[in-house]
A and B are shown apart, each in its own frame.
Chain A
Amino acid sequence: MRISADRLRKALQDSEFLPTLSLSEWDLVIRQAQRAGVLARLAIQLDARNLLDAVAAAPRQHLLAERALAEKHERDVRWEVRCIQEALAESGVPIVLLKGAAYTFAGLPPARGRLFNDIDILVPRAALEVVEQSLRRSGWSIGDIDPYDERYYRRWMHQIPPLTHWGRRTTIDVHHTIIPDTARLDLRVEKLFAAATPIAGASGILTLAPADMILHSATHLLNEGEFARGLRDLDDIAQLLRHFGRDAAFWPRLTERAGELDLRRPLYYALRYAAMLLGAPVPAAALAAGPDAPNRLLRAVMDTLFERALRPDHRSCRDGLSGTALWLLYVRSHYLRMPPYLLIPHLLRKAYRRTITPDASGPG
Chain B
Amino acid sequence: MTATTTAARETVPSAAAIEAGDFFLRSGPFTTRVHTSIPHLPDGTAQLYEPRHISAHRDFADFHVTVAPPRGVRRWYRPQVLFHLDGIVPFKPLPLLHAVPIFEWGLNWCIVNRANSYLIIHAAAIEKNGFVAIMPGVPGAGKSTLTAGLVNRGWRLLSDEMALISLTDGRVMPLVRPISLKNESIALIRDFVPGAQFSAACHDTIKGTVAHLKPPQESLNRVDEPARPAWIIFPHYVNGLPATLATYSKAASLIEIARNAFNYSVHGARGFAVLADIVESSRCYRFSYGDLDEAVEVFAALEPPTRAGA
Contact = CB atoms under 8 A, between A and B. Distances in A.
A314 B62 contact: no
Interface in B136-175: none
A69 B60 contact: no
Interface stretch (B38-46, B112-120, B208-216, B298-306): B112-120
B4 interface: yes
B86 A64 contact: no
Interface string A65-90: 11011011001000000000000000
Contacts of A315: 86-87
Interface in B15-64: 29, 31, 59-62, 64
A61 to B, nearest CB: 4
A62 interface: yes
Given A22-B59, A34-B86, A58-B60, A69 B2 contact: no
Interface stretch (A4-12, A23-31, A106-114, A277-285): A23-31
**Which of B4, B59, B265, B267 is most buried by chain A, counting CB atoms within 10 A of its CB?**
B59
B266 interface: yes
B60 A27 contact: yes
Nearest to A24: B59
Given A24-B60, A57-B4, A72 B87 contact: no
A23 B115 contact: no
A257 interface: no
B60 A68 contact: no
Nearest to B31: A58
A35 interface: yes
Interface of B (DSSP majority class): loop
Contact of B1 (A27, A57, A66, A68): A57
24 contacts: A22-B59, A23-B4, A23-B6, A23-B60, A24-B59, A24-B60, A27-B60, A31-B64, A31-B86, A35-B86, A57-B1, A57-B2, A57-B4, A58-B3, A58-B4, A58-B31, A61-B115, A62-B114, A64-B117, A65-B115, A72-B265, A72-B268, A313-B87, A314-B87
Contacts of B4: 23, 56-58
A59 interface: yes
B5 interface: yes
Given A23-B6, A31-B64, A64-B116, 14 more contacts: A23-B5, A24-B60, A27-B59, A27-B60, A58-B3, A58-B62, A61-B29, A61-B117, A65-B115, A68-B117, A68-B266, A72-B268, A75-B268, A315-B87
Interface string A291-330: 0000000000000000000000111000000000000000
Contacts of B116: 64-66, 68-69
B260 to A, nearest CB: 19
Interface in B185-229: none
A34 B2 CA distance: 20
A134 to B, nearest CB: 27
Nearest to A71: B268
Contacts of A26: 60
A35 B1 CA distance: 20
Contacts of B114: 62, 65
A314 B268 contact: no
Contacts of A22: 59
B57 to A, nearest CB: 10
A66 B266 CA distance: 10
Interface string B111-130: 00011110000000000000
Interface string B92-122: 0000000000000000000000111100000
A68 B267 CA distance: 6
Contacts of B31: 58
Nearest to B265: A72
B203 to A, nearest CB: 28
A290 to B, nearest CB: 39
Contacts of A69: 116, 266
Contacts of A59: 60
Contacts of A68: 116-117, 266-267
A61 B166 CA distance: 11
Give me the 3 closest cross-chain CB pairs, A-B, nearest first: A23-B59, A65-B116, A64-B117
Interface in A37-77: 56-59, 61-62, 64-66, 68-69, 71-72, 75
